[in-house]
């Protein structure tokens, strides 16, 4: 897989406080994996390299609105998210209380995301991009290859990987620019993710490898 800015974009899933900040609801289950992978620092390294070398960056966020309380059924993680008000916003057109909330971007990422160039797509509503406009936004820019990272490794990142593959994109996953929960009953999601990345992705990279490829682009 050749990474070049003319047809390759960086896609980060859920770079939000809920899963990356010590104040986030998911922090107790995630902090060990975040530390082991140096996830936040690695994501920032990719942001910097991408912005410095003209690669387009896309963000696929997770938001829940009060009306989503009307959902009649949920899977295990969805049920936990709903009960804990994870990624919660006051409404589609309401930003009251958004600044610094779990749904907001991690503060250190804001200069990269809010630079007027990063494409923030509509929120995905479960785990994959089937429920947002990520694929449309990529295709409209003639992007055919993706460098993928963000949160959570075994849920939203893997779900995005699977759907983007089905949509005909080449996808490289950056394995240390993600992390996953260590759940007392369900297990360590990161282990499951790594196995599936190896079976599915066109490339499984470290951050060092991804940054090197971005910086070496000669397109």
If one counts every other C-beta atom within 10 angstroms of the C-beta of residue 99, the result is 7
pLDDT tens for residues 66-77?
A: 888 888 898 887
Domains and CATH numbers, the chain: 8-215 (3.40.50.850)
Please determine, for residue 58, whether its predicted confidence score (pLDDT) is greater than 70. Answer: yes
Q: What is the model's pLDDT at position 84? A: 73
Looking at residue 174, its pLDDT comes to: 98
Q: What is the pTM of this model?
A: 0.94
Give the model's pLDDT for residue 190.
Answer: 98
Confidence of residue 218 (pLDDT cuts 50, 70, 90): low
pLDDT in tens, 105-148: 999 999 999 999 999 999 999 999 999 999 999 999 999 999 99
Three-class SS state of 9: strand
183-215 pLDDT, tens digit per residue, is 999 999 999 999 999 999 999 999 999 999 999
Helix boundaries (H) for the chain: 17-20, 27-37, 39-52, 76-84, 110-113, 134-140, 158-166, 189-200, 207-215
């Amino acid at each position: 897989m050749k990474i070049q800015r003319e047809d390759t974009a960086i896609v980060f899933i859920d770079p939000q406080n809920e899963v990356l900040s010590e104040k986030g609801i998911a922090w107790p289950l995630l902090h060990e994996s975040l530390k082991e992978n140096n996830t936040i620092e690695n994501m920032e390294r990719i942001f910097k390299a991408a912005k410095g070398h003209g690669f387009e960056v896309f963000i696929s966020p997770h938001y829940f609105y009060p009306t989503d309380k009307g959902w009649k059924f949920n899977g295990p993680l969805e049920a936990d998210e709903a009960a804990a008000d994870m990624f919660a916003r006051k409404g589609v057109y309401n930003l009251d209380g958004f600044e610094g909330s779990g749904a907001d971007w991690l503060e250190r990422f804001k200069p990269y995301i809010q630079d007027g160039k990063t494409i923030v797509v509509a929120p995905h509503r479960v785990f994959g991009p089937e429920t947002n406009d990520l694929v449309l936004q990529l295709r409209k820019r003639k992007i055919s290859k993706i460098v993928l990272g963000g949160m959570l490794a075994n849920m939203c990142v893997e779900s995005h990987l699977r759907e983007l593959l089905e949509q005909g994109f080449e996808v490289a996953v950056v394995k240390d620019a993600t992390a996953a929960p260590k759940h007392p009953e369900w297990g360590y999601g990161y282990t499951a993710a790594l196995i599936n990345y190896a079976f599915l992705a066109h490339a499984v990279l470290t951050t060092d490898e991804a940054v090197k490829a971005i910086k070496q682009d000669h397109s």
